């Protein structure tokens, strides 16, 4: 998207944006918009290929697959995909910590972009070992970048009361969806129909463009973005370094012994990560809940929040299968043409961001219209609606899954409709989840709780990963129906809790 540069006669905002604006916002927003757009282009482009590449050459690949992938089963591919996504969100917390205490947001984002680009380049090289090295680097870089680039958007404005702030984040998030929409159409097409590794190389090129954009445009960013808000003391730095090296040494010794003894399998890596992805969120919530400094009211809100957290993990467990279970179904059991126009299976990954861009303004208008009539659903009801919808999407998914059992291919409109329902659920839950988190967070943990919310994604994806590692076929009709039922039951439980939550949150509407 081309930037719109106009004169800013009012001179509001940061001094570095005194003469030019980007859609009426500080000029630095253009830099962060383009950086995020290209980063999401690389992220979603690689994600669109990930499961398809893993199963290509194996028994679960589609009949038109070019081959040349890792030939894994769909179960193993879903496990790897789920663990990868879980680590992206889990690493966002230490990523934010690095920005706050070690490098500052600006340096952290620059380093993260370089790590992501290197990861995609590793994926572009043949070989299973390079694939997993690349996947780990992309997850690490994405975690470092995720929290810090949003922080820098906030730095562009004169505090939380700046009237342009909310609009600035809206423009910024449009960059996410533009990159996510375009990536499968470009990277997916090249990867699926020309060469997998060339597709991954295009993802690296996209991140390189984002990094260049960021480095060239840093002069437009707020000086605060270069500052380390709470730098580590020398003692703290040495302590963290010792602990990090100790754990690294333990891991190296352990896996060296396992490898040399000839017992190493993929599960030796996946199982510890998935267990950690479940234990860490649990440990964080327990630590906060047991803090004796919390008042009785804060303890009560934390008890309620834990139930919201579990329900959110259930939502993301189903939602994120849009890029794994549903992607594999699109490859092998869905027709690849509409009105005689053929397209690769990876194009289905553009459907969700397209629905987001189409429906987000509609939902914003609906909520405002209902609010004017004092009929807008409260946050708890919206949360329950999201869970009902995500459950309904998998109940519907059972139908085409059954239709394809005899080898027939189903209409693409089944998946398009399921993605639409899931997107509506996402639009109900994502902003509401952030709202619930800020309202229920104890004052002592106000900032940390935003990171805790993202751990719900980690917990949901790790649950999916653990089930796949255990050999559960997540594409089975019975499992789909079970997941759908659990989501609907969770939604019903949240809905039954709505009056209690009104008392706690004070948000009748």
- 191-228 pLDDT tens trace: 999 999 999 999 999 999 999 999 999 999 999 889 88
C-alpha span between 73 and 473 (Å, rounded) = 10
C-alpha span between 170 and 464 (Å, rounded) = 31
Confidence of residue 507 (pLDDT cuts 50, 70, 90): low
When mean pLDDT is compared across 160-174, 319-333, 459-473, the lowest value belongs to 160-174
Residues 354, 491 contacting (CB under 8 angstroms): no
Name the residue with tokens 């680590």. Answer: 87
Q: Collapsing DSSP states into helix, strand and coil, what is residue 335?
A: coil
How does pLDDT run across 78-90, given as a tens digit for each residue? 999 999 999 999 9
C-alpha span between 11 and 34 (Å, rounded) = 23
Q: The pTM is what?
A: 0.89
φ/ψ (deg, to 5) at 58: -110, 180
CA 48 to chain centre: 13
Instruction: Write the CA distances from 491 to 14, 383, 419, 423, integer angstroms.
Output: 43, 7, 19, 16
Residue 94 pLDDT: 87
Q: For the residues 461-483, what does the mean pLDDT come to?
A: 93
Report DSSP state, residue 441. S
C-alpha span between 263 and 266 (Å, rounded) = 10
Confidence of residue 13 (pLDDT cuts 50, 70, 90): very low
Q: How many CA atoms lie within 13 A of 463 on its CB side?
A: 20
Instruction: Tell me the pairing of strands 341-342 and 20-22.
Output: unpaired
C-alpha angle 130-136-139 in degrees, rounded to nearest 5: 140
CA 334 to chain centre: 25
Same fold flag, 1-231 and 265-509: yes
Q: Does residue 259 or residue 8 have the better pLDDT? A: 259
Q: What share of the chain is helix, strand, coil (3-state, %, to 5)?
A: 75, 5, 20
Report DSSP state, residue 19. S
Candidates 147, 157, 160, 439; CA nearest to 308 is 439
How does pLDDT run across 261-304, given as a tens digit for each residue? 888 888 888 899 899 999 999 998 999 888 888 888 888 888 88
Please state the domain extents for the chain. Answer: 1-231, 237-262, 265-509
Is the domain spanning 265-509 CATH 1.10.10.10? The answer is no
Backbone region of residue 339 per phi and psi (left: phi > 0; alpha: psi in -120 to 50; beta: other values): left
H or E stretch covering 7: strand 5-7
CA 142 to chain centre: 10
Domain 1-231 fold is Growth Hormone; Chain: A; (1.20.1250)
Confidence of residue 160 (pLDDT cuts 50, 70, 90): low
Residues 56, 70 contacting (CB under 8 angstroms): yes
C-alpha span between 284 and 273 (Å, rounded) = 16
Instruction: Tell me the pairing of strands 20-22 and 25-26.
Output: antiparallel
Give start and end residues of each alpha helix (H) in 74-233.
74-90, 92-101, 105-123, 128-155, 165-183, 189-193, 196-217
Instruction: Write the CA distances from 293 to 119, 289, 446, integer angstroms.
Output: 43, 10, 14
- Residue 91: which residues within 8 A CB-CB, separation 6 or more? 139, 140, 142, 143, 144
When mean pLDDT is compared across 285-299, 370-384, 428-442, 480-494, the lowest value belongs to 428-442
């Amino acid at each position: 998207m081309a930037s719109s540069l106009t004169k800013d006669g009012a001179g509001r905002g940061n001094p570095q944006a005194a003469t030019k604006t980007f859609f009426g916002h500080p000029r630095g927003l253009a830099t962060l918009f383009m950086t995020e757009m290209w980063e999401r282009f690389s992220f979603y482009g690689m994600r669109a290929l990930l499961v398809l590449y893993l199963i290509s050459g194996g028994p679960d690949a589609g009949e038109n697959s070019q081959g040349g992938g890792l030939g894994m089963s769909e179960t193993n591919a879903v496990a790897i995909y789920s663990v990868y996504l879980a680590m992206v969100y889990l690493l966002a917390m230490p990523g934010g910590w690095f920005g706050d205490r070690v490098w500052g947001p600006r340096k952290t984002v620059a380093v993260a972009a370089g790590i992501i680009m290197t990861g995609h380049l590793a994926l572009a090289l043949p070989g299973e070992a390079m694939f997993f090295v690349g996947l780990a680097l992309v997850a690490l870089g994405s975690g470092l970048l995720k929290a810090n680039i949003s922080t820098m958007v906030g730095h562009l404005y004169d505090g939380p009361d700046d009237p342009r702030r909310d609009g600035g984040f809206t423009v910024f998030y449009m960059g996410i969806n533009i990159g996510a929409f375009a990536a499968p159409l470009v990277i997916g097409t090249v990867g699926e129909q020309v060469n997998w590794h060339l597709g991954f190389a295009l993802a690296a090129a996209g991140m390189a463009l984002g990094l260049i954009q960021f480095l060239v445009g840093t002069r437009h960013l707020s000086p605060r973005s270069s500052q380390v808000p709470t730098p580590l003391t020398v003692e703290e730095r040495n302590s963290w370094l010792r602990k990090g090296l100790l754990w690294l040494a333990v891991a190296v010794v352990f896996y060296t012994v396992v490898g040399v003894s000839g017992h190493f399998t993929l599960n030796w890596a996946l199982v510890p990560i998935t267990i950690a992805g479940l234990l860490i969120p649990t440990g964080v919530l327990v630590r906060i809940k047991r803090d004796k400094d919390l008042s009785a009211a804060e303890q009560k809100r934390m008890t309620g929040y834990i139930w919201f957290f579990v329900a959110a993990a259930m939502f993301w467990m189903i939602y994120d299968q849009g890029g794994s279970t549903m992607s594999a179904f699109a490859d092998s059991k869905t027709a690849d043409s509409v009105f005689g126009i053929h397209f690769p299976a990876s194009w289905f990954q553009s459907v969700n961001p397209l629905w987001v861009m189409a429906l987000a303004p509609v939902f914003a208008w609906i909520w405002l219209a209902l609010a004017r009539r004092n009929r807008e659903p409260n946050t708890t009801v919206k949360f329950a609606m999201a869970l009902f919808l995500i459950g309904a999407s998998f109940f519907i998914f059972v139908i085409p899954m059954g239709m394809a059992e005899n080898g027939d291919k189903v209409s693409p409109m089944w998946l398009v409709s399921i993605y639409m329902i899931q997107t509506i659920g996402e639009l109900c839950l994502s902003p509401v989840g952030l709202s619930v988190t800020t309202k229920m967070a104890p004052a002592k943990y106000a900032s940390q709780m935003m990171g805790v919310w993202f751990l719900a994604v980690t917990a949901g994806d790790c649950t999916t990963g653990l089930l796949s590692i255990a050999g559960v076929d997540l594409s089975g009709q019975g499992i789909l129906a079970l997941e759908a039922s659990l989501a609907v039951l969770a939604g019903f439980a949240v809905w039954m809790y709505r009056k209690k939550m009104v008392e706690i949150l004070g948000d009748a509407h």
